[in-house]
Structure 1
Amino acid sequence: MRSSSISNSNSNSISPRSEPDVTLTLDANYISNSVTPDFSSLLSDQILIFILSNFNKSQLISSSLVCKRWLKISSGLIKSLKLLDWDFLESGRLCYRFPNLIDVDIVQACIISPRNSGICLSNKFVSVHVNSFVPDTEFIWKPDFLSARVIDRGVQILARACCNLRKLVLFGATNEGLDAIANECLALQELELCSCTDFDLKGLAGFRNLQILKIIGYVDGLYDSVISDIGLTILAQGCPRLLKLELVGCEGSYDGIKAIGQCCQMLEELTFCDHRLEGGWLAALSYCTNLKTLKFQSCKFIDPSPGPDEHLGSCPTLEDLHLVRCQLRDKQGLGALFIVCEAVRELVFEDCWGLDNNSFGAASICRRVMSLYLEGCSLLTMDGFEPVVLSWKELKRLKVVSCNNIKDSAMTPELATLFSVLKELKWRPDSKSILSSGLDGTGVWQNGGRSFKI
């Protein structure tokens, strides 16, 4: 306003060229004598929440450094968290800083490790910093953990402050800690338990809405807790509404799996990872009457002694069977698995060692297969692959990747004809595969509307 009045009053004496110089001088004086305003204060909390809700987690953490208001709003938008410092939980700062958490993982904070170490020991579950010095008497180093009493106390603090939890990953919690979670976090739907014992699982009986459960028993090089038939039976009786169950490094036998099938009648997905189940357990899968998906991951065997075929039974509702990074040298156990999974609609073999022509031929009993995915099965050849695939009259989807002994040169006209009617085909058995030249004259490319990935 002052700049305008000066230019108007002296319009006859001051040339137009001098007006910008006067304005610039006045603006510079104004800026130097004032504080830069906070324009974000003009935004309401609702608008600022809407803006920050579009940030990812790392951006939210950066935005919390702007001011106390942004700190409070951005912290309230963070829903999931992996705890690294146990004192941050026990002091109450975790729940005060992040009041709206629904997904918490405390495993890393339960492991006592040096913070300043540059050596990191990692496996598929956790990463642990270790000292460079290992005593000569210790051939295999194992980390130290917080005591069960300390862990239960921290879990109780977490349960009281974050009662809206939907997913929780616990380490070393006992029956007392699980009871606190069950009583306070009524909406909890997904739970993962590491390093627990059979009788610790009694605390699962208080969970009303638990649908997804993962039990991690023995972990090589980290801890060696045991989950046996006793724990599997307690689990089955305490969680009748389970939809998904994953057992990692768990022991047990026919009785434990049978209890799960009889009590958890809503169970739809069952996963075994590096299991240590005794021989004969496979027949208990027939009690899982609503099972739709069965997965095996990193298993050294399926069933060392499955028993007579007539006693195995079957899972009539099973749709998907996945075997990932498993050793399939035991032909008897794999054949028994195919008998139990006779009604399967989708078969997946990924990086499985020992799957050869004979073992894959046993899969021909599964006559309702509509989808097959093979990857990293180097022992399988066209002689074992083609008869099984041609026997599946309902096959619609086929993916073959990195199976080096399945050659284009061994392809027959019958297999080429099958390719022409598939809804989806991905054919990359090796780096030298050239399907187009191998199918010249077969008419496989003449059908439109198909999905081919070569």
Structure 2
Amino acid sequence: MSALKENVDPPLKKKKPPRWSDIWLKNTKPLKHLVFSMPLQSQTLIPNFPNIDRTLLLSDELLLDVLSRLPLSQRNPNSLVCKRWLNLQGRLVRSLKILDWEFLDSGRLFTRFPNLTHVDLLNGCLFSPRDSGILLTHRLVSVHMSSVFCPNCKFLQENMLPVQVVDKGLQALANGCPNLRRLVVINASEFGLLTVAEECSTLQELELHKCNDNVLRGIAACENLQILRLVANVDGLYASVVTDIGLTILAQGCKRLVKLELNGCEGSFDGIKAIGQCCLMLEELTICDHKMDDGWLAGLSYCENLKTLKLLSCRRIDSSPGRDEYLGFCPALERLHLQKCQFRSKKSVRALFRVCETVRDIVIQDCWGLDNDMFKFASVCRRVKLFSLEGCSLLTTEGLEAVILSWQDLESLTVVSCKNINESDISPALATLFAILKELRWRPDANSLLVSSLVGTCMGQRGGRFFKKT
């Protein structure tokens, strides 16, 4: 019994399922064949792999040309495709508004957007709470503000970056964007602007906020500057002073100016005269909320090539313009635009139209104090072809008719929101004028029926009849 051994079958071992790594390593020959053949057959193999980026076959220059032809609305989605497209889209960006100053100070701006030509630093120079739901909007700037606000203080002036920090940023910008063509900045000094002028020889447009006479010394080196916007003082936001000294420095340094806008600037006849004598290419002058001394209007006659004059939000024109023989006129002036101005003095309004007697287009919008007695001075402008009147409630139909009938070349007339101009007062002479106008927009009030009554007539055709024949 002891010699007999019990035959016991050993336990069966379960076979392990094959692993993907074993199968992969046992079949290396086809893999090697595939790897070595890819460089030679890449064009035939790529269609079998839809996840491979086919744009890798395109050079950066060719892909940039493709991306540049796409609509601007697709710019942000395209930059999310991959890092390469992000960098390429950055090279296509030419204009940028900086909201975070650290983005400029760290140098990431120039790495991300190396080809910038238009940079707006206005909001980046201001301390503004991003999570605030209060938005302060002005014609010149929009910025978020905290709930604690004193109406008597200069809000933006107390929330600006120091001048030294702004100048340092301008120096970095000048070095990183040598092809800069347009710049918007606030609270800079003459040293920061001088750096931009020296490094960015292609700078053509500059918008400068909170500037003074000393700051204007820095832009005198901008030899190719063509468009300049100076904002010295804005009530409730910030305050600075530009006088005749600064205007003279500006005139002698920027002789290629084509457009000039002065906001809240002081000065007088001497400053405007210097601009007219030195800036011979000046074609458009905009004066907004000026603080100029009496007699400045006479300086406009020295702007011999001026074609457009705009007065915006001026509380007064010129209280003492002087005698007519000293006023002169602008020989090349074609357009006069008056918006939100206050006509307080007949003498100043008379002098204004006297200086602008050669204009062909007159636009008056939301101006306070314009009545029949003041508007009659516009009859001195004999060459008017286009006249637009909007939001002037003191002018009557009689006062309007007395002037526009004297304009023999009038072709286009617009009258909107002038409640004292009534259709019932339209004379036969004025109706005849309406018939021969090339363009008429007549809506003095909400109850105006003239436009609907002209449907089906020959209005709008030079020499056409006022009523359609039946």
Q: Please tell me the TM-score bracket, short chain as reference.
A: 0.7 to 0.9
Three-state SS of the structure 1 residue aligned to 2:220 is helix
Q: 1:437 to 1:165 in 2, by over 3 A?
A: closer
Residue aligning to 2:316: 301
Query: Is 2:457 aligned against 1:429?
Result: no
What is the aligned residue count?
417
CA contact (8 A) 1:416 1:444 kept: no
Residue aligning to 2:118: 103
Query: Is 2:288 aligned against 1:262?
Result: no
1:182-229 CA distances to partner (integer Å, 9 max, x unpaired)? 111111111111112101111122112111111000011211011111
Query: Is 2:262 aligned against 1:243?
Result: no
CA contact (8 A) 2:265 2:291 kept: yes
Supply the RMSD in Å over aligned alpha carbons.
2.5
Residue aligning to 1:277: 292
Residue aligning to 2:162: 147
CA distance in structure 2 between the aligned counterparts of 1:176 and 1:140, rounded to whole angstroms: 28
CA distance in structure 2 between the aligned counterparts of 1:134 and 1:406, rounded to whole angstroms: 43
CA distance in structure 2 between the aligned counterparts of 1:56 and 1:177, rounded to whole angstroms: 36
Three-state SS of the structure 1 residue aligned to 2:338 is strand
Which of the residues 267, 282, 295 maps onto 1:252? 267
Q: 1:390 to 1:439 in 2, by over 3 A?
A: farther
TM-score normalised to the size of structure 2? Answer: 0.83
Query: Is 2:144 aligned against 1:129?
Result: yes
CA contact (8 A) 1:195 1:217 kept: yes
1:372-423 CA distances to partner (integer Å, 9 max, x unpaired)? 1111112111010001000011111111222222122111111121122222
Matching of residues 154-169 of structure 1 within 5 Å:
154-169=169-184
CA distance in structure 1 between the aligned counterparts of 2:369 and 2:422, rounded to whole angstroms: 19
CA distance in structure 1 between the aligned counterparts of 2:130 and 2:283, rounded to whole angstroms: 42
Three-state SS of the structure 2 residue aligned to 1:272 is strand
CA contact (8 A) 1:80 1:102 kept: yes
Query: Is 2:307 aligned against 1:292?
Result: yes
CA contact (8 A) 2:442 2:451 kept: no
CA distance in structure 2 between the aligned counterparts of 1:97 and 1:86, rounded to whole angstroms: 15
Residue aligning to 2:412: 397
Letter in 2 for 1:220: D
CA positional deviation for 1:36: 2.6
| 370-379 or 380-389: bigger deviation | 370-379
TM-score normalised to the size of structure 1? Answer: 0.86
Letter in 2 for 1:108: N
Matching of residues 36-435 of structure 1 within 5 Å:
36-55=51-70, 57=72, 59-133=74-148, 140=153, 142=155, 143-435=158-450
CA positional deviation for 1:118: 2.7
Q: 1:120 to 1:369 in 2, by over 3 A?
A: same
CA positional deviation for 1:297: 0.8
CA positional deviation for 1:446: 9.6
CA positional deviation for 1:40: 3.6
CA positional deviation for 1:75: 0.8
1:28-74 CA distances to partner (integer Å, 9 max, x unpaired)? xxxxxx88332443444344323422445553233212211110111
Letter in 2 for 1:165: L
Q: 1:304 to 1:122 in 2, by over 3 A?
A: same
CA positional deviation for 1:113: 2.3
Letter in 1 for 2:415: V
Residue aligning to 2:20: none
CA contact (8 A) 1:417 1:444 kept: no
CA contact (8 A) 2:209 2:232 kept: yes
CA distance in structure 2 between the aligned counterparts of 1:436 and 1:352, rounded to whole angstroms: 25
1:86-143 CA distances to partner (integer Å, 9 max, x unpaired)? 11001111111111111111011111222333322221222222233458xx853624
Question: In terms of Rg, which structure is larger?
Answer: 2
CA contact (8 A) 1:351 1:376 kept: yes
CA contact (8 A) 1:409 1:438 kept: no
Letter in 2 for 1:417: T
Letter in 2 for 1:418: L
CA distance in structure 2 between the aligned counterparts of 1:239 and 1:446, rounded to whole angstroms: 45
Three-state SS of the structure 2 residue aligned to 1:75 is helix
CA contact (8 A) 2:288 2:314 kept: yes
CA distance in structure 2 between the aligned counterparts of 1:382 and 1:52, rounded to whole angstroms: 57
Q: 1:116 to 1:365 in 2, by over 3 A?
A: same
Q: 1:449 to 1:55 in 2, by over 3 A?
A: farther
1:207-259 CA distances to partner (integer Å, 9 max, x unpaired)? 12111111000011211011111111111111111111100010111111111
| Structure 1: stretches of 5+ with no match in the other structure | 1-33
| Structure 2: stretches of 5+ with no match in the other structure | 1-48
Letter in 2 for 1:106: L
Q: 1:436 to 1:141 in 2, by over 3 A?
A: closer
